[in-house]
Structure 1
Amino acid sequence: MKTLKLIIAGIIFFASTNTMQAQVSVNVNLGSPPAWGPAGYSAVDYYYLPDIQSYYDIRNTQFIYFGGGKWNRSRNLPNQYRNYNLYNGYKVVLNDYHGSRPYSNFKYHKVKYYKGYKGKPQKSIGSNRNNYKKVYKSNGNKGNGYKGKGNKVGKGNNGNGKH
C-alpha cells in the first residue's frame, strides 16, 4: 500500500512539474515588436539593423551596438545614429536565434547583410509612419526616439503581427 502511494505521488509530481515548465516557456517568449518593426513576425527575439550594424532585442526593448570595445545595451541608439530613421531602415528578422547574444554571429551578419542591404520589401507594423515625429532626446540620454500616438522607441502599438 505504501509503494502504491509513493507511485501515485511521483506521478502527480512529474505531471505538475511538466505543466509548470510549459507555462514558463510560453511566458518567456512574449514581447511586443516595436511600431517600426517589420509586419508579419510575432515570434522573433531580435532584428539586425544592417545600416548601423546593430541589433534590437524585442523582449527587452533594447538596442545592442558595439562601442568602446564592447557590446552595449540601451533603450536608445547611440548618439552617432540619432538621425537614423528606424521606419525606413531595413530590418533583418533573426528567426533562427533565441539566445541572449545575437552579436555572437556578427561577423556572419555583417558580411551577409552589408550596409545598404535591401532584402524583400518590408511594411512596418505601425500602419501610418507619417503620423510619427522623430525626436532626439537631448536630456542627456543618447539616441533617438519616435513620438506620436503615445508610442516611443521600443514600444509596439499592437504586437498583432502574424507569423
Structure 2
Amino acid sequence: MKISTKVLMGLFVICSQFIAAQVTQDKVNIEKKDTTEVENMSRYNYFPNLQAYYDNKTNLYIFKVNGIWVHNSLIPPNYKGYGLRNGFHVVIDNYSGDEPYSLLSIHKLKYPANYSTKRKRKVVVATE
C-alpha cells in the first residue's frame, strides 16, 4: 500500500473513534436528562369528579371498579371526556408511593368535585 492510503485509513479509524465516543456521550446525557425530568415531575394527578388518579410514572389511570382499585391505560367509557388535557385535575406533588388512593379521603375534602356542565381545563398544584 502507498503511504497516503495508510495515512487516510489511519485518519478514518481515528475519526470513527471520535464519532463513536461522541455518540456514547450524547446517549448518556440524554438518558441522564430523561431520568432527572421524571424524578422532578409530580407522579400523580387527581381527578376530583372521578375520584381517580393518573400515574405519570407508569402512564396508567387508577380508578375503582366494583370496589377494587384498577390500573389501566384507558379510563372506562362512563368517564368519557376526561383526561389530563381536558379535565380539572389536581397535581399531587407531595406523594410518590404506589397507592395514592390511600389518601382519597383527604383529597376528597381538600379538592371537592365540581359537577358543573361547563368543563374548564384547570390545574391545581397540591401543597401541604
* Matched AA of 2:112: Y
Q: Deviations over 1:7-33 (max 9, x none)?
A: xxxxxxxxxxxxxxxxxxx949727xx
Counterpart Cα distance in 1 of 2:71 and 2:95: 17
**RMSD over aligned Cα atoms:** 2.9
User: Looking at both structures, which has the greater relative contact order when contacts are Cα pairs under 8 Å and sequence separation is at least 6?
Assistant: 1
Matched-pair identity in %:
33
Contact 1:65 1:72 in 2 (8 A): yes
- Report 1:1-163 matches (<5 A): 27=35, 30=38, 43-84=41-82, 86-116=84-114, 121-122=122-123
* Matched AA of 1:48: Y
* Matched AA of 2:78: Q
* TM-score, normalising length: structure 2: 0.57
Gapped regions of structure 2 (runs ≥ 5): 1-33, 116-121, 124-128
Deviation at 1:87, TM superposition (A): 2.5
Deviation at 1:79, TM superposition (A): 1.9
Q: Deviations over 1:19-66 (max 9, x none)?
A: xxxxxxx949727xxxxxxxxxx5210000111110000010000001
Q: How many corresponding residue pairs?
A: 86
Gapped regions of structure 1 (runs ≥ 5): 1-25, 32-41, 123-163
* Larger radius of gyration between Structure 1 and Structure 2: 2
More helix by share: 2
* TM-score, normalising length: structure 1: 0.46
